């Protein structure tokens, strides 16, 4: 249905840009952190999420487990969502910031594909074309040697790390897309705060277990890294809040399109603060992925507007 009109025209899109900026800066701080495993950073992020959501659960009296028939979906939402976060943070640490960010923007395309498989939603030839565009973009960023030769330029560190980061980013994107499909399945029967609560609690438990298994738990040696950890938690939380507010007062289509500003911010921050110029392969991959995600968002937006008009008639 139609969203509530914003008091100020364009306020929802401004919230979206602000959310993109906060997420991008949090990613930059993650690149700047030294000697802290991505799983530990994810654990700190989960703690901040829990601290924010707990008062909301108490205020809205939602309980901590949710409706009986929905708990299994909430569990998988929490597991897949937190897995996506850990994998994305790992990708940020081992590959260029812009490359990892671009790959995550294939999520809308894979969401459409998974929704077609599991929810029997319509999947047209346009959706297939956008999927091929997204895959092309990922290939241009990954640059596998069997297509681009053995000497790959413009990457951070070794190619093996770049490849691991690419695989982690793709797995993160698939996990995030699966999360959205689960949320569609649950619908509005579960409060938004309860969904985030499962995400944070299951994520924290999983991260703590993984840290003990990997023997990677350690407090940062440097005071600067501790500040970065706190800022990552606060900025990630702020980005999520502003994105939620944007979706409350603006249609999902324009918000999805404006979220591509994440890619723009990632390129700018990478050049200014990490002294890493993106290659033309990365730029080409970014254009393919942005065109793909924007096309998917526009199609879904037009479809929702058409259905709204049909209901009015």
Express each pLDDT in 130-182 by its tens digit. 889 888 988 888 887 766 766 666 676 778 888 899 999 999 999 988 888 88
Largest CA distance in the chain: 64
Helix (H, G, I), strand (E, B) or coil at 211: helix
Cβ neighbours of 233 (radius 10 Å) = 20
Average pLDDT, the chain: 82
Nearest to 141 by CA among 271, 297, 290: 290
Give the pLDDT confidence score for residue 2 in this predicted structure.
Answer: 46
Helix (H, G, I), strand (E, B) or coil at 212: helix
Give the pLDDT confidence score for residue 299 in this predicted structure.
Answer: 78
At which residue do the structure tokens 């649950």 appear? 186
Q: Where is average pLDDT lowest: 136-140, 183-187, 221-225, 248-252?
A: 248-252
Average pLDDT over residues 185-206: 83
For 70, how many CA atoms within 13 A lie in the half-sphere containing its CB? 20
Q: From CA 282, how far away is CA 23, in angstroms rounded?
A: 20
Asked whether residue 241 carries a pLDDT value surpassing 50, the answer given is yes
Q: Where are the domains of the chain?
A: 11-310
Structure token digits, residue 198: 């499962």
Q: What is the pLDDT of residues 13-23, one digit of tens each?
A: 888 899 889 99
Cβ neighbours of 264 (radius 10 Å) = 17
Q: From CA 119, how far away is CA 143, in angstroms rounded?
A: 33
Q: What is the pLDDT of residues 58-74, one digit of tens each?
A: 888 888 887 888 888 88
pTM score of the predicted model:
0.82
């Amino acid at each position: 249905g139609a969203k509530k009109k914003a008091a100020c025209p364009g306020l929802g899109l401004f919230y979206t840009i602000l959310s993109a900026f906060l997420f991008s800066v949090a990613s930059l701080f993650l690149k700047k952190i030294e000697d802290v495993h991505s799983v530990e950073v994810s654990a700190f992020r989960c703690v901040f999420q829990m601290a924010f959501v707990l008062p909301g659960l108490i205020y809205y009296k939602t309980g901590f487990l949710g409706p009986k028939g929905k708990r299994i979906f909430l569990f998988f939402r929490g597991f897949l969502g937190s897995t996506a976060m850990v994998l994305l943070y790992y990708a940020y640490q081992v590959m260029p910031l812009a490359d990892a960010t671009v790959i995550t923007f294939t999520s809308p395309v894979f969401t459409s594909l998974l929704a077609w498989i599991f929810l029997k939603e319509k999947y047209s030839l346009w959706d297939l074309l956008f999927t091929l565009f997204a895959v092309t973009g990922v290939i241009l960023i990954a640059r596998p040697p069997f297509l681009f030769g053995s000497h790959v330029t413009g990457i951070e560190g070794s190619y093996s790390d770049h490849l691991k980061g690419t695989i982690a980013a793709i797995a993160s994107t698939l996990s995030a897309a699966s999360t959205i499909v689960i949320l569609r399945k649950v619908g509005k029967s579960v409060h938004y705060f309860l969904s985030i609560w499962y995400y944070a609690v299951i994520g924290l438990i999983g991260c703590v277990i993984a840290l003990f298994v990997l023997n990677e738990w350690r407090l940062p040696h440097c005071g600067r890294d501790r500040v970065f950890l706190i800022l990552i938690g606060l900025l990630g939380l702020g980005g999520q809040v502003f994105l939620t507010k944007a979706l409350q007062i603006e249609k999902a289509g324009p918000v999805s399109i404006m979220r591509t500003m994440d890619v723009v911010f990632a390129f700018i921050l990478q050049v200014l603060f990490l002294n890493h110029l993106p290659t033309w392969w990365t730029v080409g991959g970014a254009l393919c992925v942005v065109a793909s995600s924007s096309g998917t968002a526009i199609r879904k937006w037009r479809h929702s507007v058409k259905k709204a008009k049909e209901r009015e008639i």
